[in-house]
Amino acid sequence: MIAFFLVSLLAAVSISAQAPPTAWPQFRGSPPLHGTTDATLPPSLKLLWTYEAGDAIESSAAIVDGVVYVGSQNGDLHAVNLADGSVKWKYKASPDGIGESSPAVAGGLVFIGDLSGVVHAVDVATGKAVWTFKTDGEVKSSPAVSGDKVLIGSYDSNLYALIARTGTLAWKVKTEGYVHSTPSVVDGVAYITGCDEILRAIRVTDGRQLFSLSSGAYTGASPAIANGRAYYGTYENEVLAVDLKTHKIVWRYRHPQRNFPFYSSAALSGGRVFVGGRDKLMHALDAVTGKEAWSFPTGARIDSSPAIASGRVYVGSNDGKLYVFDAASGKVMQQFEAGGPLSASPAIAGGRLIIGSQDGKLFALGG
């Protein structure tokens, strides 16, 4: 049984930088946090169903085996059938609520953190807790599964590695500030940005810190890793590209007029970096040079992290709209009016896009 569990975990995380067509198993879709998928969506999205979660949804959904998993501010972890939005089960995590922590699914378990500082492992079939682990601060980081370990940050300033099957502590790494970032995992190394302004590389097997680099700014976004570089935004109104071999910042992007923080985590596709800003703009940057390819103004800040499928960029805005852009040109292809602010990020699988709103609605869009 243990061997089967570990094989299942390894199979779940042995995916490419893109999420597979039928699943979106974690925040940003895959361990390198690219926010991209091999799935396809119809040219024009229509509303297929709406699910009422009962409170605000800032958590971004995971989708595995035809089930959508998402947390809400009332402390529930919801399992909803992708086909029709019917409830499979609800699990009460914490009366303090689930914030931005987004589920990760592997090996028959769904992992999530809550605002009381507890990490939960829940059986996907029954909705019952398999184990819990208490940290000493809020958990807004999303879990990432690597091998037999679950990696997750806490506002107690630690990055934790927990044994996925049991919840036993494997190791923890102390930082100098809140760990809001979701770890990006590439080749056995976890990369986290920090509220202590530090980008860290940590070996997954034993928690050894391989290097650290000052970003020069408080960072709430998670790093996306591709071609030996990390890409992420900061509270000093910049997007950075960091060379992971030389440990140097390759470029910095700052909008020439609008100076606002970047809280959205970047998506990477087609040689570009796509990221939303609190300047209300959706930005597309050249990944090599950091030069702007295009930008588009929405009606409010963009904390939602974009998802990319078939040459289109999907992102929510706090103006209550889901925007669909042509990735190459920045042309708006569609807008969906959700009615409430969309700070959660889209998840795409099985020909459907799932996103939650701050007024407690979970939407499924497709053909």
Cβ-Cβ contacts under 8 Å for 256 (sequence gap 6 or more): none
pLDDT at residue 9 is higher than 50: no
Query: What DSSP element (H or E) covers 331?
Result: none
**DSSP letters along 79-93, please?**
EEETTT--EEEEEE-
Residue-wise pLDDT for 280-320, tens only, equals: 999 999 999 999 999 999 999 999 999 999 999 999 999 99
pLDDT at residue 269, rounded to an integer: 97
Residue-wise pLDDT for 330-351, tens only, equals: 999 999 999 999 999 999 999 9
pLDDT at residue 339, rounded to an integer: 94
pLDDT at residue 8 is higher than 70: no
Cβ-Cβ contacts under 8 Å for 73 (sequence gap 6 or more): 55, 56, 57, 58, 97, 98, 99, 360
Residue 51 φ/ψ, nearest 5 degrees = -115, 135
Sign of CA dihedral 186, 189, 193, 198: negative
pLDDT at residue 165 is higher than 60: yes
pLDDT at residue 234, rounded to an integer: 97
The distance from CA 249 to its chain's CA centroid, rounded to whole angstroms, is 23
Cβ-Cβ contacts under 8 Å for 214 (sequence gap 6 or more): 197, 198, 199
Please provide the average confidence, as pLDDT, over all residues in the chain. Answer: 95
Least confident of 10-19, 54-63, 142-151, 263-272: 10-19
β-pairing, 307-309 vs 36-37, is parallel
pTM (2 d.p.)? 0.94
Residue-wise pLDDT for 207-231, tens only, equals: 999 999 999 999 999 999 999 999 9
Cβ-Cβ contacts under 8 Å for 257 (sequence gap 6 or more): none
Average pLDDT over residues 186-202: 96
Q: Which one is predicted more confidently, 5 or 267?
A: 267
